Structure 1
Amino acid sequence: MRVTYLEDLADTDRDVRVESENGNWRSRRIVLAREGVGFSFHETNIPAGTTNEFWYANHIECVYCVGGEGELLDRETGETYEIRDGMCYLLDKHDRHTVTAKTDLRLICTFNPPVTGREVHDENGVYPLLTEPDATTGNTTGNTTEEATA
């Protein structure tokens, strides 16, 4: 059994903050590839008044809103959806999407394949597909050995 308290992740390698032209958010990575469970699990906070563009070309992501209000734009279709507490969206087609936070958003996210925690969004909002030995088996997770860039 593994127990994690969110406050224990503050200022560790599992506490990722992004402030750039392409986004402004904080992600606390609760479960990563190194745990060897086949997915990663994160809490992501997006501040009110910000717009973030994402595209997970190498991952499937599921997002569940547990607080706040915003808007989700499917950049392929132009459709928009209200983000609010209790709303879930699944990016099962590697959908290019934009999240605009009307109020502070608190989102719970899962990724498959799991992220390692070293990924950095590129200019298109894409995470590279990285690998890492997991803590339980020593087997490599993911499909490539690309290195993340800072």
Structure 2
Amino acid sequence: MAEILRRLARSTGKVHCEIGAARQDVNVSVTGGTRIEIKGVPRIPLIPLLTYNEAMRQWNLLRLRDELNRRGVTKETFATVTTDVTRLLKKTRFQPITSAILAGMKVLCVSLKGFKGLLRWETQTDTYFSREISDRVRVISCLTTLPNIIHSDSPSETIASSEWNTLKRQ
């Protein structure tokens, strides 16, 4: 449909046809999911790939929800424990935490009961559930410097294993 409209508008000779001159908003949803709007797609050929990626993301998030339910984690049972661990990580070699502490920020540890292994759940190609959380932290808390979260499902990429062990004992 978008291609037909593009050709029709172009046939008038009064429409600019450069890349990005017409932008499309695309709504995507899967059974059981919510409708998501992808705003301002600049080129019609991008629509199938963007639609596929969003549909896969929603489908994988629904599978993740089912896995959490299987583990007994529901809206009603979901609980977190947050601990200030700034003093425990003052000597870490992980630069993002060192920089944050030097800037006067706190380092908080959030324990997510029942989530072990799920932060590495792939929601899209090369994108994991931890990225979904990180994106929301970025928007809600204005923590725009990445990484804004780290997690024990990928410990080798962050702080030392001895530091993870110390945090797990808290």
Taking structure 1 as the reference length, the TM-score comes to 0.26
Structure richer in helix, relative to its length: 2
Greater gyration radius: 2
Taking structure 2 as the reference length, the TM-score comes to 0.24
**Higher-RCO chain (CA-CA 8 Å, sequence separation at least 6):** 1
